[in-house]
Amino acid sequence: MNSIHVGETPCSEEIILQGIKGSPGICIGQAYLVDKEGVDVVHKYPIEAAHVRKEVLRFKTAVKKAKEELSTIISELPEDFSEHISILESHMILSGDKMLYGKTIETIEEEKINAEWALKVVVARIMAMFQDIPDPYLRSRAADISQVSDRIMRNLMGAEKINISNINKRVILVAKDLSPADTSQIQLEKIMGFVTDKGGQASHTSIIARTLEIPSIQGLGNATKIIKNEDIIIVDGSEGIVIVHPNDATLIRYRAKRRDYEIRKANVTRECKNPAVTTDGFSMKLMGNIELVEELVSVIDNGGEGIGLYRTEFQYLSRTSYPSEDELFERYKEVAELLAPDPVTIRTLDINGDKALSYDASNEESNPALGLRAIRFCLMRPDVFITQLKAILRASAYGNIRVMFPMISSLEEVLAARKHLQDAAMALKKANIPHRSDIEMGIMIEIPSAAFMAETLADEVDFFSIGTNDLTQYMLAIDRSNRKVAHLYQPLHPAVLKIIKYVVDIGKKKGIKVFMCGEMASDPSVLPILIGMGLDEISMAPQSIPAVKDRIRKLSRKKSVAFAEKILKQTNITDINRLLAQEDVKAVD
């Protein structure tokens, strides 16, 4: 991203860089550039036919060495980092993936070119493919491919390895990119935070940074070109801002801001295990959203009371084939056991089958956001769907599991999904395999047609879970990954709020619970509206739970109901934001 010049110091001009928020918090200190020079400088040269086999062997050796390096890192991980082993293991699997490994060998053999160039060409094609995926979580998996290929490339070129664990001074890391393996070597007593040119909020590197609770910003674009070694920088992970060469006034302001943040965080965290109860006695359950089993620690530590959304896509990515029933069962069982008796809401596979899975043979789609994904994909592939459902039912014998179907648009889809769930239970019963067949079944309300059909759908399910991210996208016809129209993506649009209230009201009328698992639930400023609407439960990223709990404890449900009614009468976003900014305090006792 472009820099903004905002002031001067006696020696250098103050520069502000805007990036993507990775992990909240503020740190101030000297920059330490992690040198990856040489990896990006790759040249193409032809290989004689007689030497092609040797070049392939050189590539295989580099891959083998990359796997050995990752294996060593895993074996040396401190106990506090053990929950992230599966991320590093996925990188080991990726290095042998046919999309990366197989295609590179094929390119060397067919084009008779050096391994470095073949790897670069293959990775470029994969990156282009991932850019078309609308879901930010799935799109961010491209970073894993890039990080694995960088490790292989370093071995091919003999470039010096990054060894963050050897840094022996208190610094802020600045890098083009950091892999989960790099991040896992961070020594908290030395590294205050980090910023990278690449990456995003959903990357595995960001997930690890949030677990470590150190400020991080990703996707800065040109930080490594602007920031020099030992430059004084400020990293505001809560705002996604890096300030280079801060002047005295900026330093004073941010030192105070850091102190206030740390005091507020300590106060909020201290109370996070206590329930979220309003001043007039209304109790709301707060759950965590997770993608990896390893994130359970963060849910528990931050006072989460279960899992409101367990995204299961990760177990299908970074592989060469679909996972088996037993593989899925072991993961789901682990989550269920660790959280019992608290509920675990498992969302069935929500993936774009044509582009996200390298081993799936589906044809490409011109508009995958509206294509064969989620429940549509699962109903098209009952073999894949029933395998997952059987694993879920088996794991439910070890805890309190709820199953949830995504991207429902019609009654027919709900009935078909339930039939597959019944078939899965029958198959397990015939095989005399322990399971529960009476688990709660719910659907995500994220397509307008499902919202408007809520009264009919409520007769067939046990709960609704509102996915505000996609619901907003589809209600407003906004591609939130398209920067040209991203400013029009407004979760507080009157139409979005009215449809949410309609779904909640239908839930009350029909006697089923209504949850929310979208990003709106993690915004403390919106809580008076959500409580006032009558939601039964909300879930969010684990790190957001303490602040949301703290906000709920300061609210009156009775006043929140009146406030929500006032908000729902507004006809434009400007007035809604004005009321939130000016009158939200009136919802507080």
List active site positions: 204, 517
Q: Say whether 548 sits in a helix, a strand or coil.
A: helix
* Identity of residue 250: T
Q: How many CA atoms lie within 13 A of 316 on its CB side?
A: 25
Q: Where are the alpha helices (DSSP H) in 99-203?
A: 103-111, 115-131, 136-139, 142-157, 180-183
* Identity of residue 216: S
CA distance 220 to 238: 14
Residue that has been written with the tokens 């664990």 in this structure: 165
* Structural contact between residues 527 and 563, judged by C-beta atoms closer than 8 angstroms: no
CA distance 188 to 168: 11
513-516 and 537-540 as β-strands: parallel, antiparallel, unpaired?
parallel
Beta bridge partners of 465: 444, 515
- Quick one: CA dihedral 171, 22, 550, 344, positive or negative? negative
Find the radius of gyration of the CA atoms of the chain.
25
Q: Say whether 348 sits in a helix, a strand or coil.
A: coil
Q: How many CA atoms lie within 13 A of 33 on its CB side?
A: 15
* Structural contact between residues 77 and 44, judged by C-beta atoms closer than 8 angstroms: no
Beta bridge partners of 489: none
Query: What phi, psi does 588 have (nearest 5°)?
Result: -105, 140
User: Rounded to the nearest 10 degrees, how much is the dihedral formed by the CA atoms of 403, 404, 409, 415?
Assistant: 10
* Identity of residue 417: A
CA distance 250 to 247: 5
DSSP-assigned letters across all residues of 202-245: TSHHHHHHHHHT--EEE--SSHHHH--TT-EEEEETTTTEEEES
Residue that has been written with the tokens 């690890």 in this structure: 208
Q: Say whether 344 sits in a helix, a strand or coil.
A: strand
Q: Which is nearest to 403 in space by CA: 449, 350, 357?
A: 350
Q: Which is nearest to 406 in space by CA: 325, 287, 518, 489?
A: 518
CA distance 212 to 295: 12
* Structural contact between residues 442 and 402, judged by C-beta atoms closer than 8 angstroms: yes
Q: What angle do CA 229, 192, 36 make, to 5 degrees?
A: 45
Question: How many C-beta atoms lie closer than 10 Å to residue 581's C-beta?
Answer: 10
And the tokens for 121?
Answer: 């060409």
241-244 and 232-236 as β-strands: parallel, antiparallel, unpaired?
antiparallel
Q: Say whether 218 sits in a helix, a strand or coil.
A: strand
Q: Which is nearest to 113 in space by CA: 65, 194, 43?
A: 43
